[in-house]
Chains A and B, each alone.
Chain A
């Protein structure tokens, strides 16, 4: 199933005009609020009573299961959401724009895949972008992230920052990573970036100067040839900047993951691209070869991008083996086991975020289901003709 990660609240009562954007952390009615952002999560009348007993002044109501409407006098601030957001749980964090009542779920405590969208701006315009870039002033998102970080549990194992291009406002973004270093010292941070910003030595130096202990830049490289990469990302000169960026990061001892999203322009040449990476970038820390999510621009370009993974099975296998042979840490993301050569199963990772992950009828008969990445449920899923239960 696909979780609705954003929507419009039914009501937001008791808020001042300013600030118009607030960050909310959901608390159990039984625990005391310890931050102005804490709201008691109310899903039933019992929760409501316990919230009163727990001296909560702010509540967050999900669904319409309350026997009586909440009397505004009992609480300072009340937010209510429709029942379909029932997945929300204590510890989750949301950002809400009060005047429009629009909200986004920023962090889910139970998820292994928490990622922050940093901006919708990007200097690439990838043919298959799942988050089509918009040229808008959305610097408020960074402030929202900054306000969220102190609310995240220190035990969170990993966080991802994505975009758009997270380094669009690089000084602010580097501030966010520095906050992560201080507030979440045990959390591994992954930044999905097109890497072009790192062609600028000032930015790489600033990145290095953060001194984060577990930070990795995940950077896409789509081909060994300049214009093929530039075409996929729709930006002339991008290949040159991206490769330079990778070199400068590694030159300064920073961790880099190379990512290749597989579609009709990249998958048929994946063996060559892998050979090139093995020969020219053997010092990167990880290579991820990734099935494409059929959403965003990928839908607009579906005709030219779609390729059934079963049709690039051999070249993908060759690519993985080439990389593995040089001792590269290599993974295959987003592709179900039944479309992969068995020899590369050990590299396949259950990578699809829980909120957009699913299986099909055929999978119920499959003995590998518990180890299989399954399929995307987001966008307009297309099913490989190779899907067939492993017995």
Chain B
């Protein structure tokens, strides 16, 4: 008869084990949250984590099995654990293969709104001063097509870009021509307040597959307070514009983004209801922006983060409730974070990546031809801070922009993988570098993370999402759907 060895014969003794890289944080009395190199979470008690670190574990004790399956340990002679981590990390980081997929064209600075938090727009009729010229647009387009991505998105920004719709049409046409000769796919989106939307614009968008993205801050009084314009009817124009666009282009062809202000923080339910009412697929509960108005008016204080986290949690829980009642509706920021936490899909979203997405994720071509590494970078420039100005379309090409010292220094200075606090943070795999934000708020590309509201917010949202995933199977099922699993 055959002879079989029993299970004890196959375990490695402690001397043949070694640790793999992992991060951890204390979450309570003798409780730890641990994440492996690709951000899979596991909870351990203090004794357990000490035993893992001391390699005091053996097959059959339950801890060995959990630590092994979670890639915290490996056999010294083994290769598969490391290869699996390497492969997964490669997949997670593969957004880097798509160099600069997003190109923003500021076709005009002019705007008929006068939003207090907006730093950049001008109430002016002087086209020659504040509109992008055709030559500048042409140069910018050349640069955009030099980027290595197989598919690029051109986003028209302002001011109010519809005030220079003629140029938009010319750019779309030129880009489509280039697209066929260069074999690079191009998508278009116009970021507009929709106030100037009309039938011919809608027809044009439909014919050319142009998406619309607009701003909707919440209910009428909140939105109109945030966005004053002659007539005081920004809300009416935005909501009716959204409806018309949905009808003309299709529900999935128009999106809305909210700007969070102090006044929003107590009204998350009403804001969500606005989005629901319009039949939008979800909402992006965005943080207060440190740029423009908020900084100028010194409203942007750190204590806001705690209030914002309450706002976010209340909103998220309401959204989950809406889903339980049968209406599918997403919170897009959670969806992004969850996709990072629960899958290895490459997510290049600008706040959730390191290396940062400035320049290598997106370039901004300002109306006057100067090129910035991000939209916020251009706003800083309006206050005289040129830290993210990479060059000018007349003097630079794609290569010299993304290889500029300014960009390389900003990206390499802010890598979370090797930053103090971040490098051993339990959330690092799902977080991101945010050099523009930290430069704006702390005057430092890397940022002092213990003092950073960005960091506090990241930790807060991820802790919340983890807690919901672990404590409520019903909610977790919805959250997993958002992550696509």
Contact = CB atoms under 8 A, between A and B. Distances in A.
Q: Do the two shown chains form a genuine complex with each other? A: yes
B43 to A, nearest CB: 15
Contact of B40 (A127, A243, A279, A327): A279
A228 B7 CA distance: 7
Nearest to A129: B2
B7 A325 contact: no
A168 interface: no
A234 B4 contact: yes
A230 B6 CA distance: 11
B167 to A, nearest CB: 42
Interface in A209-243: 224-228, 230-231, 234, 236-237, 239-243
B485 A225 contact: no
A231 B484 CA distance: 35
A231 B7 contact: yes
B303 interface: no
Interface residues of B, number: 30
A254 B79 CA distance: 20
A151 interface: no
B64 interface: yes
A63 to B, nearest CB: 37
Interface string B363-375: 0000000000000
A244 B78 CA distance: 10
Contact of A227 (B7, B88, B343, B485): B7
A282 B40 CA distance: 15
Contact of B75 (A125, A240, A247, A325): A240
A326 interface: yes
Contacts of B40: 279
Which of B2, B10, B12, B344 has the most C-beta atoms of chain A within 10 angstroms of its own C-beta? Answer: B10
Nearest to B68: A225
B77 A237 contact: yes
Given A225-B65, A300-B2, A325-B480, A236 B80 contact: no
A276 interface: yes
B80 A234 contact: no
A2 interface: no
A282 B5 contact: no
Given A237-B77, A301-B4, A276 B12 contact: no
A240 B64 contact: no
Q: How large is the interface on A (under 10, 10 to 19, 20 to 34, 35 or more residues)?
A: 20 to 34
Main secondary structure of the interface of A (DSSP, over half): helix
B80 A240 contact: yes
Contacts of A279: 40
Interface in A309-344: 325-327
Contact of B78 (A127, A226, A234): A226
Interface string A259-288: 000000000000010001011101000000
Nearest to B344: A282
A116 interface: no
A247 B78 contact: no
A226 B12 contact: yes
B69 A247 contact: no
Contact of A280 (B11, B78, B88): B88
Contacts of B9: 231, 236
Given A227-B12, A279-B40, A300-B2, A243 B84 contact: yes
Given A226-B78, A227-B10, A247-B80, A326 B87 contact: no
B10 A325 contact: no
B18 to A, nearest CB: 13
Which of B2, B9, B344 has the most C-beta atoms of chain A within 10 angstroms of its own C-beta? Answer: B2
A125 B80 contact: no
B68 A224 contact: yes
B343 to A, nearest CB: 7
A247 B78 CA distance: 14
A358 interface: no
Interface in B1-34: 1-2, 4-7, 9-12
Nearest to B480: A325
B11 A247 contact: no
Interface of A: 125, 127, 132, 224-228, 230-231, 234, 236-237, 239-244, 247, 251, 272, 276, 278-280, 282, 297, 300-301, 325-327
Interface of B: 1-2, 4-7, 9-12, 40, 59, 64-65, 68-69, 75, 77-80, 83-84, 87-88, 343-344, 480, 484-485
16 contacts: A224-B65, A225-B59, A225-B64, A225-B69, A226-B12, A226-B75, A226-B78, A228-B10, A234-B4, A240-B75, A241-B80, A244-B79, A244-B83, A247-B84, A251-B87, A325-B480
